[in-house]
Amino acid sequence: MTEAETSHRRPNRSFVIREGRFTPAQKKAFEQYWPNYGIATDELQALELQQYFTAVQPLVLDIGFGAGDSLLSLAQQRPDLNFVGIEVYRPGIGAVMQRLHQQEIHNVRLINADVVPLLENCIASASITGLLVWFPDPWPKKRHHKRRLIRPNFIDQAQRILGPEGVLHLASDWQPYVIDMQEQLAAYPELKRLTGDTHPLAIKRPDTRFQQRGLRLGHELSDLIYLRKSLN
């Protein structure tokens, strides 16, 4: 195997699972509500995600949901969709679970895992309707570009797990990363770039603190939306 092939296949860990600093409320919420909202994972075992929801509905993955404002807004916008949030920061997961309980939101479940191995080993092909990656870490220094999430190993899996007419929605305020993502996705003809104001999942991307920070810094916000072509 060549060095390039090895690099292509090597797991792309743009972050690591970390405990962080739990506040007492976050720790209590994590322990109390994980049985209701959490999905335990094994990187070598497939998941049947629908079994964790009370209603069988199309599945949308929200990768790196952070404080959870967008995830909760989406779940309220589209109660006819099931959302699975994937995040490595456990205190944030605890805080989001507490809000899910308080707001009585039933169409969200959460996973604490590194996303690329999770997609590779646990998510079935053509099983996902939407895949959202909003404001991923741009790793701006050139020597850190290999840590970026949107790389071939991720895109390979995104293309595999999206069903026909499935949607990949990326957003960033770091234009060099936007250009890089566009160039990477250009190598995947099965993913068709969409333009226009109508979102194929009929959702509105909520404002986030990352978006507001980018605007304050004078950054341009970009949304890249791709449609998975029919699996003929």
Residues labelled catalytic = 137
Long-range CB contacts for residues 36-39, cutoff 8 Å, separation at least 24: 36/97, 36/101, 37/97, 37/100, 37/101, 37/108, 37/109, 37/110, 38/93, 38/97, 38/109, 38/110, 38/111, 38/112, 39/84, 39/109, 39/110, 39/111
Alpha-carbon span 60 to 166, nearest angstrom: 9
Using only the alpha carbons of the chain, give its radius of gyration.
17
What are the start-end ranges of the E strands in the chain? 59-63, 82-87, 108-112, 128-134, 162-172, 191-194, 222-228
Beta pairing, strands 128-134 & 108-112: unpaired
Alpha-carbon span 73 to 17, nearest angstrom: 25
Alpha-carbon span 97 to 184, nearest angstrom: 34
Alpha-carbon span 210 to 220, nearest angstrom: 12
Per-residue DSSP letter, 42: -
